[in-house]
Amino acid sequence: MDFDLIVIGAGLVGASFALALQTAGLRIAVVDSSVPSMSVERDDWDSRIYAISPGSEEFLQQCGAWQMLDTARLSAVEDMQVIGDDETSVLNFGAYAAGMRELAIIAESRELQSALWQALIKAHHVTVIAPAACHELVLEKSAVRLSLADGRILRAQLIVGADGADSWVRTQVGIKVDTRPYAQTAVVANFATEQAHRGVATQWFQRTGVLALLPLPGARVSMVWSTATAHAEELLALDPASLALRVGAATHGVLGDLRVITPAAAFPLRMQRVQRLILPRLALIGDAAHNVHPLAGQGVNLGFRDARELARVLTARGAQTDCGDFALLRRYERARKEDIATMQLTTDALQRLFNSDNAPLAKLRNFGLRLVNRQPALKNLLIRQAVG
Ligand SMILES: Cc1cc2nc3c(=O)[nH]c(=O)nc-3n(C[C@H](O)[C@H](O)[C@H](O)COP(=O)(O)OP(=O)(O)OC[C@H]3O[C@@H](n4cnc5c(N)ncnc54)[C@H](O)[C@@H]3O)c2cc1C
């Protein structure tokens, strides 16, 4: 089977990347080991949610996926509050003050995945091969050869690894990865609230970790509590009523009584830095290329920015240019380096700063929140960085 480009992984990043190449004149194969379950009418809420930045929303519009989402299941973040562990230090970000309609849109993972998948299977330039198990990958001088476990062989000029944090593609070609587990787990769950959230996303930086309540449509919120793994296990063992009480106490009852509407689930957290984003005839995007702490809600947004940039470089290549050309891929790597390094550095530094029991450091971090809060220009700069 001959293609121009093979994408391994049809998660949010891999699927959007393939869709973004609709005018690139490339024949694309998208291979995934599984098929996502399709979204059907339902009244439950996915506990896996994303804060989609305005830049990512625009990209998903261009991919033809955003317009397929049910707007009744989306929720706008109009204000964001970050509260320090002395409970008096607060940092506020407002969409209105920044001249924006909203800071982000909260969307459920399964709804996004389903919209992207439906757009993918309809796209004329894409052949979806799923479920399929990858067996062997060989990078030759003028082509890439991928063997599947069922004996099929795919050839292309370029292969893109979008197969997540444990990337098979990255392992096959021996790109080194520096993995640092945070000894933390993110506990996620959704709650019905007694009081309205008014479009405010609130994040508490506490000694027990970072706890975020993000607005869902109606009187509902989604929680992401990144905390020490032993504490996470304790939270996961609680019955729903006790978990609601525990989260209510940790958030000082700001939304009144809470009731669990989606049971708790857990995600272990780690930081990953890869040595290279490219090799001749190969590029990595999304979590295959970087993995960051979710405290800034930026992981998938960072991945969408990889997808957008690589698609831009490939679409702008001359008609005669081999899409696996190393000089083209270098352009992608250079363009993405700074954004990725900044996000890794910022999320890692914040995680360390707020994960320390050191008293002077505690004073300093709370002072820092108050200081930034008094600097509108700096706050606007931070917002611009986050919405890209
Ligand atoms: C608790 C938590 C909360 C988060 N919240 C946010 C948030 O609010 N905002 C945000 O921007 N980010 C957030 N993130 C980060 C976000 O989840 C990830 O960055 C994002 O899911 C990465 O997408 P991806 O498509 O790169 O990888 P994945 O979602 O991991 O997709 C990989 C795809 O590759 C396929 N695959 C894997 N191996 C193979 C193989 N060998 N062969 C074929 N296919 C394969 C898989 O089936 C899958 O479809 C959060 C993360 C966590 C843990």
For residue range 247-290, list pLDDT tens digits in order: 999 999 999 999 999 999 999 999 999 999 999 999 999 999 99
Q: Which CATH architecture has domain 66-108+182-270+355-387?
A: 2-Layer Sandwich (3.30)
| Residue 291 alpha carbon to ligand 1 centre in Å | 9
- pLDDT tens digits along 71-90: 999 999 999 999 988 878 88
Other Cβ atoms closer than 10 A to 23: 9
User: Which residues touch 217 (CB under 8 Å, ≥6 apart)?
Assistant: 72, 73, 74, 75
Q: Where are the domains of the chain?
A: 5-37+109-179+271-351, 66-108+182-270+355-387
- pLDDT tens digits along 196-248: 999 999 999 888 889 999 999 999 999 999 999 999 999 999 999 999 999 99
Indicate if the pLDDT at residue 39 is higher than 70: no
Amino acid at 158: L
* Bond into 131 cis (ω within 30): yes
Residue 225 C-beta-side C-alpha neighbours within 13 Å: 28
Rounded Cα distance, 83 and 222, in Å = 17
**Which residue, by CA, sits nearest to atom 1 of ligand 1?**
186
pTM of the model: 0.94
Indicate if the pLDDT at residue 40 is higher than 70: no
- Reference 335, options 376, 293, 265, 388; nearest CA is 388
Task: Write the DSSP string, 69-113.
Answer: S-GGG-EEE-EEEEE-TTSS-EEEEETTTTT-S-SEEEEEHHHHH
| Residue 116 alpha carbon to ligand 1 centre in Å | 14
- Predicted confidence at residue 368, as pLDDT, reads 79
- Predicted confidence at residue 388, as pLDDT, reads 67
Other Cβ atoms closer than 10 A to 312: 15
Rounded Cα distance, 237 and 225, in Å = 15
* Strand ranges of the sheet holding 75-77, from the earlier edge strand across to the other edge: 49-52, 104-108, 75-77
Q: Which CATH architecture has domain 5-37+109-179+271-351?
A: 3-Layer(bba) Sandwich (3.50)
Backbone angles phi, psi at 282, to 5 degrees: -150, 140
* Structure letter (DSSP) for residue 367: H
- Reference 155, options 40, 5, 321; nearest CA is 5
3-state helix, strand, coil in the chain (%, to 5): 35, 30, 30
Ligand 1 contact via 298 beta carbon (within 6 Å): yes
Report the mean per-residue pLDDT for the chain: 93
| Residue 18 alpha carbon to ligand 1 centre in Å | 16
- Predicted confidence at residue 90, as pLDDT, reads 87
Rounded Cα distance, 373 and 378, in Å = 9
Ligand 1 contact via 299 beta carbon (within 6 Å): yes
Cβ atoms of 47 and 223 closer than 8 Å: no
